């Protein structure tokens, strides 16, 4: 679940999680609910009893209330579902379901009855089109642009959908052409890390960099690109940002102040905005990017979370590539906010524990060899840390930092039972 989610998040494409019917699938409900909340397009593929087994008189093991219970449960936490019980209809059904996952960037659910596993089907065609009204798109882009242009201190704030729809480069280009500073939301931390001019930093209200907080909260043209309006993203602001004065593009809708354009896909909007703006080579920018803490001292004090961030950052300053970070819920996530990274994946909104380790594994599986740095609390590690056992088999070697705040001996607590050397990087 988490691994499929992370794979989707990492590569801005569909993730896949295949599970056993019943106990296996129900075990994944939490991960999928989190993927729903955080817009990760995980394709859950579950087996199911054969189309005739249900009638045999005996109850089947792994079954909940009825054989339909699992389908109903996943209906609540996915945006499209299909039971593939008719080979003739399966290709169209699959296309419909995958199309919804891609268009809405949310999890979907496919159920394959046992006796259908080997059914031959026609190839699955293209996703069915999600119609877009070109005129509406144009009107919307025009109004967004006018609002940004007339603002005295416009700011572009990017969040998860930018990655989900593979728009990081374009969003960077957009900021460049608009000549506006970029920040990320809490959830969007790590976005655009590879951009020519990376974001100034992450907005986390009073808990964060005062400069960024001021910039965002005083902006009269705050463009929330693909941003989840969650309490974790925004309730942190003490002088609550008046969301009703922002431009907010999310979930195929764009809201400016009090009105909303429906059915505006994010990629279409970004493209339309770019078409309306000439390239720019402006580089000046009044503000310096956020300064990360560095300089870990060997001082005999117990290690504090910030020390870990320093250690990670020192390593980067010393010339090593920053790593993609997968964080779990807890202190570790807040510490990760202080690390220099090549991107961050975390359950910043859904806030479910157990995400970190499997996410690191899932991401490294699709990273083309790049290592992932996983940070996780001891509480969360107990939930899914055991998944490290799969690393050897998968041939991957994520680095795992376990925040064991029982003993606060974090750096020494790297304790993957399996034998990959997490430590030797340090």
Q: Is 303 in the site for ligand TPP (CB under 6 A)?
A: no
Quick one: 145 or 243, whose CB is closer to its own copies? Answer: 243
The CA-based angle 20-24-28, given to 5 degrees, is 125
Binding partner selected for residue 52 from ligand TPP, its own copies, none, CB under the kind-specific 5 to 8 Å limit: none
- Interacting span for ligand TPP (CB under 6 A) from 3-11, 222-230, 267-275, 347-355: 347-355
Tell me how far apart the terminal alpha carbons of the chain are, to the nearest angstrom.
30
Quick one: 140 or 376, whose CB is closer to ligand TPP? Answer: 376
Token output for 160: 């998860």
CB of 411 to its own copies, least distance (A): 19
Quick one: 27 or 421, whose CB is closer to its own copies? Answer: 27
Q: Which of residues 162-221 bind ligand TPP (CB under 6 A)?
A: none
Q: Any idea which residue has 């504090």 for tokens?
A: 304
Q: Is 400 in the site for ligand TPP (CB under 6 A)?
A: no
Three-class SS of residue 378? Answer: helix
Quick one: 262 or 423, whose CB is closer to its own copies? Answer: 262
Nearest of 181, 214, 209, 208 to residue 197 by alpha carbon: 181
| C-alpha torsion sign, points 149, 151, 156, 157 | negative
For ligand TPP, what does the binding mask look like between residues 14 and 33, x meaning CB under 6 A? ------x--xx--x------
Interatomic CA distance for residues 266 and 273, integer angstroms: 11
Token output for 70: 């699992």
Q: Any idea which residue has 């607590």 for tokens?
A: 413
Using an 8 Å Cβ cutoff, are 324 and 343 in contact? yes
Interatomic CA distance for residues 60 and 8, integer angstroms: 33
- Interacting span for ligand TPP (CB under 6 A) from 100-108, 128-136, 181-189, 324-332: 324-332
Read off φ and ψ for residue 156, nearest 5 degrees.
Answer: -105, 120
Three-class SS of residue 188? Answer: coil
At 96, which helix (H) or strand (E)? helix 90-104
Quick one: 94 or 336, whose CB is closer to ligand TPP? Answer: 336
**Interface ranges with its own copies (CB under 8 A):** 22-23, 26-27, 29-30, 33-34, 36-37, 57-65, 69, 72-73, 76-77, 88-89, 133, 135-136, 139-140, 143, 228-232, 234-235, 243-244, 256-262, 329, 347, 349-354, 381-383, 385-387, 389
Binding partner selected for residue 136 from ligand TPP, its own copies, none, CB under the kind-specific 5 to 8 Å limit: its own copies
Q: Is 150 in the site for ligand TPP (CB under 6 A)?
A: no
Q: Let me know if 149 is exposed, middle or buried by CB neighbors in 10 A (0-12, 13-18, 19+).
A: exposed
Three-class SS of residue 38? Answer: coil
Quick one: 52 or 280, whose CB is closer to its own copies? Answer: 52
Residues 6+ apart with CB under 8 A from 402: 376, 377, 378, 381, 385, 410, 413, 414, 415
Binding partner selected for residue 64 from its own copies, ligand TPP, none, CB under the kind-specific 5 to 8 Å limit: its own copies
Residues 6+ apart with CB under 8 A from 284: none
- With CB under 6 A as the contact rule, the residue among 274, 331, 366, 420 that binds ligand TPP is 331
Using an 8 Å Cβ cutoff, are 347 and 9 in contact? no
CB of 9 to its own copies, least distance (A): 17
- Interacting span for ligand TPP (CB under 6 A) from 145-153, 154-162, 282-290, 371-379: 371-379
Binding partner selected for residue 135 from ligand TPP, its own copies, none, CB under the kind-specific 5 to 8 Å limit: its own copies
Quick one: 34 or 343, whose CB is closer to ligand TPP? Answer: 34
CB of 249 to its own copies, least distance (A): 13
CB of 343 to ligand TPP, least distance (A): 21
Residues in the chain: 426
Residues at the site binding ligand TPP, with contacts judged by CB under 6 A: 20, 23-24, 27, 329-332, 351-354, 377-380, 403, 405
């Amino acid at each position: 679940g988490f691994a499929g989610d992370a794979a989707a998040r990492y590569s801005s494409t569909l993730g896949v999680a295949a599970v056993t019917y019943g106990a296996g699938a129900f075990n994944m409900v939490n991960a999928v609910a989190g993927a729903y909340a955080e817009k990760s397009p995980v394709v859950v593929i579950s087996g199911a009893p054969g189309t005739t087994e249900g009638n045999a008189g005996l109850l089947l093991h792994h079954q909940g209330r009825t054989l339909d219970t699992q389908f109903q449960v996943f209906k609540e936490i996915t945006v499209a579902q299909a039971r593939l019980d008719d080979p003739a209809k399966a290709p169209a059904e699959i296309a419909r379901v995958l199309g919804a996952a891609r268009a809405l960037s949310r999890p979907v659910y496919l159920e394959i009855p046992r006796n259908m596993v080997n059914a031959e089907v026609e190839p699955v065609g293209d996703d069915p089109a999600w119609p877009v009204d070109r005129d509406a798109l144009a009107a919307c882009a025009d109004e967004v642009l006018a609002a940004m242009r007339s603002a005295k201190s416009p700011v572009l704030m990017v969040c998860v959908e930018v990655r989900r729809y593979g728009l990081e480069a374009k969003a960077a280009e957009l900021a460049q052409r608009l000549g506006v500073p970029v920040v990320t939301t809490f959830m969007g931390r790590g976005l655009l890390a590879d951009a020519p001019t990376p974001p100034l930093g992450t907005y986390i209200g009073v808990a964060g960099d005062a400069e960024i907080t001021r910039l965002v909260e005083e902006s009269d043209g705050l463009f929330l690109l693909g941003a989840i309006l969650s309490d974790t993203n925004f309730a942190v602001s003490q002088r609550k940002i008046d969301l009703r004065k922002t431009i907010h593009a999310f979930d195929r809708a764009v809201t400016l102040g009090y009105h909303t354009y429906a059915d505006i896909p994010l990629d279409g909007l970004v493209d339309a905005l770019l078409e309306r703006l000439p390239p720019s080579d402006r580089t000046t920018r009044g503000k310096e990017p956020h300064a990360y803490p560095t300089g870990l001292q060997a001082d005999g004090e117990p290690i504090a979370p910030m020390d870990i961030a320093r250690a990670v950052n020192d390593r980067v300053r010393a010339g090593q590539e920053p790593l993609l970070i997968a964080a779990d819920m807890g202190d570790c996530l807040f510490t990760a906010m202080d690390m220099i990274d090549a991107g961050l994946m975390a359950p910043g909104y859904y806030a479910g524990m157990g995400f970190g380790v499997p996410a690191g594994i899932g991401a490294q599986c699709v990273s083309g060899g790049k290592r992932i740095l996983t940070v996780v609390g001891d509480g969360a590690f107990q939930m899914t840390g055991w998944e490290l056992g799969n690393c050897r088999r998968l041939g991957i070697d994520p680095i795992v930092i376990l925040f064991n705040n029982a003993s606060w001996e974090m750096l020494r607590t790297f304790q993957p039972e399996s034998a990959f050397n997490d430590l030797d990087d340090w």
